[in-house]
Amino acid sequence: MDEKKAPAEAGMLEKLKGALSGEGKKGLKNWKNWILAAGLIGIALIGLSGLLPEKDKTAVSAASAQASGQSAEEFVSKTEEKLAAIVRSIEGAGECRVMVTLENGVEYVYATEERINTDRQEDENTVSQRDDSDKSVIVVDTENGKQGLLVTEIQPTVKGVVVVCEGGDQPIVQQRIIDTITTALNLSSKRVCVTKLSQ
């Protein structure tokens, strides 16, 4: 097998030697032209990339925010369902309805990029400095289009809870419900109201 490769390799080696040596000046000149052309094309592409419009880094659609996690309405609904199930299991509470209000909605924190430009001028007697900063949201391509790069999602803060239940007129039941809800949601007792369900 080595004998078959040797003539082919030798032929290619001879051609390469001929191109690089003085024998094939046309071949060497051709190589230089190719390298020069590739270099010029590379420089032209770098120059043209500066002329292309930049991607919009600050445009983040509301759909991208909604697609990443649950909305405030979903948070309220799930919290009300969980609290109602817990309150029903408290002795003496009976059938109940729960309403949760929020202080704020879901907050999304996106990755940002900040550019700071500083211009400093010094004269004999004065020094002046001007700082400019530009902050923009980092945008990434996803299957749903362009979206901001989400760093964290801050859940809403519960403002208050109202519980209406069958045993809501009994002080011991009221206290059990208030203790349960304040512990579950880390609320003060003045943010929880328990009252009797009408029949």
Residue 55 lies in a domain: no
| Biggest alpha carbon–alpha carbon distance for the chain | 109
Residue 74 lies in a domain: yes
Instruction: Kindly provide the b/e burial profile for residues 128-145, where b requires at least 16 CB atoms within 10 angstroms of the residue's own CB.
Output: eeeeeeeebbebeeeeee
pLDDT of 4 reads 52
Contact 138, 112 (CB under 8 A): yes
CA 13 to chain centre: 55
Q: Measure Cα distances from 45 to 39, 52, 129 in Å.
A: 10, 11, 36
pLDDT of 13 reads 60
Residue 54 lies in a domain: no
Report the C-alpha gap between 4 and 71 in whole angstroms.
72
- Residue 122, token pair as written in the block: 């010094």
Residue 7 lies in a domain: yes
Ranking 15-24, 120-129, 171-180 by mean pLDDT, the lowest is 15-24
pLDDT of 52 reads 60
Contact 59, 139 (CB under 8 A): yes
Number of domains in the chain: 3
- Specify whether 15 is located in the same domain as 79: no
- Specify whether 156 is located in the same domain as 66: yes
What average pLDDT does range 104-132 have in this prediction? 81
- Specify whether 6 is located in the same domain as 102: no
- The segment with the largest mean pLDDT, out of 56-70, 92-106, 148-162, is 92-106
- Specify whether 67 is located in the same domain as 89: yes
Binned at pLDDT 50, 70 and 90, residue 176 comes out as very high
Q: Is residue 22 pLDDT above 70, yes or no? A: no
What average pLDDT does range 22-45 have in this prediction? 68
- Specify whether 99 is located in the same domain as 169: yes
Residue 163 lies in a domain: yes
- Specify whether 90 is located in the same domain as 169: yes
- Specify whether 21 is located in the same domain as 95: no
- Specify whether 85 is located in the same domain as 113: no
Residue 140 lies in a domain: yes
- Specify whether 72 is located in the same domain as 35: no
Chain segment 51-88, per-residue pLDDT in tens: 665 444 333 434 444 444 578 888 899 999 999 999 99
- Specify whether 76 is located in the same domain as 19: no
Residue 56 lies in a domain: no
Binned at pLDDT 50, 70 and 90, residue 122 comes out as confident
Q: Range of 120's domain?
A: 109-151
Report the C-alpha gap between 93 and 104 in whole angstroms.
30
The pairing of strands 158-165 and 192-196 is parallel
Higher pLDDT, 42 or 172: 172
Residue 22 lies in a domain: yes
- Specify whether 192 is located in the same domain as 94: yes
CATH of the domain at 192: 3.30.300.30
Number of H helices, E strands in the chain: 5, 9
Higher pLDDT, 72 or 1: 72
- Specify whether 170 is located in the same domain as 156: yes
